[in-house]
């Protein structure tokens, strides 16, 4: 228990401390309320923190905060671009107009005749408007089938008129069979009132003439075989048609060049290959074979 004198003295001390605390708090409020009041030099701290990261800076940085901040400083080009073209592009002048093509020359009458005969199966050779020996063989065959005078002569006005005015290929008047015209040196394969094939042939030469005869196919020899009369003379797909002249046949030769534009065989009838192969396959035993005309 305090004595009375000590109690009075202690109360006075508490009152004095309260007064001093009130004065101190009142002074802090004035500084915050009037920031423009000049600060006395005596109130300036004698030392300045050496680092901004003192007690005001957190000791640890959240992991979600990026450690670096992108610079916002704009980059200004140091100079204008120097890539301007040194010269203007070259403009090509427009292409000059092409000169008009000359009008196509009308096809010659000889060419028109060859085209038509070739489309009908007459063997003219090259369709070029040149009436060669081969074309004359075809023309000779047309004359025969169209009922005109038969010859291997050059193209005539009558031929041109007949061929170009015709609307259809001539129809044979002969029965089914094989017919060899020695004047034209052509073979007709007639099947059921139709010229199935018209092909070049070469008949027997001087001293070996192919006889003008009518016979029937009595023997067929497929493929190649050597002639029984002439050594080293090979015959292909032979059709024998005269029993009393057993060595005479229609056949292919080793090369087509042996089928001449004139009589050149040893009595047989040389036929182009592969035409003879096709004729051989389509001709049964007993088919009529007729040889006629004169070269």
- Residue 184 near residue 141, CB atoms below 8 Å: yes
Strand-pairing partners, residue 289, are 178, 215
Q: Give me the helices (H) in the chain, please.
A: 4-33, 109-119, 133-146, 157-165, 275-282
Question: 33-60: per-residue pLDDT in tens?
Answer: 344 444 444 444 444 444 444 343 444 4
| CA 92 to chain CA mean position, Å | 32
For the chain, residues with pLDDT lower than 70 are 1-91, 93, 103-106
Q: What is the pTM of this model?
A: 0.65
Fold annotation for 177-292: L,D-transpeptidase catalytic domain-like (2.40.440)
Question: How many Å separate Cα 126 from the centre of its chain?
Answer: 28
What confidence tens digit (pLDDT) does each residue in 227-281 have?
877 777 899 999 999 999 999 999 999 999 999 999 999 999 999 999 999 999 9
- Domain spans, the chain: 109-165, 177-292
27 CB contacts (<8 Å, ≥6 apart)? none
Nearest to 276 by CA among 174, 219, 208, 200: 200
Q: Would you please indicate which residues are annotated as catalytic (active-site) residues? A: 251, 268
Q: What pLDDT does 53 receive?
A: 42
Pairing of strands 288-292, 177-181: parallel
Res 216: pLDDT: 98
Q: What is the DSSP letter of 243?
A: T
Contacts 24+ apart (CB under 8 A), 114-123: 116/163, 116/164, 116/166, 117/142, 117/163, 120/169, 121/169, 121/195, 121/197, 121/198, 122/198, 123/186, 123/198, 123/199, 123/200
Question: What is the spatial distance between Cα 293 and Cα 150, in angstroms, rounded to a whole number?
Answer: 10
Radius of gyration of the chain (CA): 62
**Residue for token digits 């109130």?**
43
């Amino acid at each position: 228990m305090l004595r009375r004198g000590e109690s009075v003295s202690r109360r006075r001390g508490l009152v004095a401390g309260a007064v001093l605390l009130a004065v101190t708090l009142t002074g802090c409020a004035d500084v915050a309320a009037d920031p423009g009041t000049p600060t006395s030099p005596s109130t300036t701290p004698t030392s300045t923190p050496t680092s901004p990261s003192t007690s005001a800076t957190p000791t640890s940085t959240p992991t979600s905060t990026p450690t670096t901040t992108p610079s916002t400083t704009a980059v200004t080009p140091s100079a204008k671009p120097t890539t301007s073209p040194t010269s203007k592009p070259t403009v090509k002048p427009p292409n000059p107009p092409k000169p008009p093509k000359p009008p196509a020359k009308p096809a010659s009458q000889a060419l028109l005749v060859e085209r038509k005969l070739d489309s009908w199966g007459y063997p003219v050779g090259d369709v070029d408007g040149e009436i060669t020996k081969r074309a004359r063989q075809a023309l000779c065959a047309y004359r025969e089938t169209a009922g005109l005078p038969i010859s291997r002569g050059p193209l005539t006005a009558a031929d041109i008129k007949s061929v170009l005015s015709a609307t259809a290929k001539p129809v044979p008047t002969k029965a089914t069979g094989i017919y060899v015209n020695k004047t034209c040196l052509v073979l007709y394969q007639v099947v059921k009132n139709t010229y199935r094939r018209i092909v070049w042939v070469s008949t027997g030469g001087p001293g070996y003439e192919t006889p003008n005869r009518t016979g029937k196919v009595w023997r067929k020899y497929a493929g190649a075989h050597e002639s029984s009369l002439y050594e080293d003379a090979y015959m292909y797909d032979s059709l024998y048609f005269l029993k009393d002249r057993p060595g005479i046949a229609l056949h292919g030769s080793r090369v087509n060049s042996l089928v001449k534009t004139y009589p050149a065989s040893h009595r047989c009838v040389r036929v182009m290959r592969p035409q003879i192969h096709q004729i051989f396959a389509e001709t049964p035993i007993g088919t009529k074979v007729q040889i006629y005309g004169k070269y």
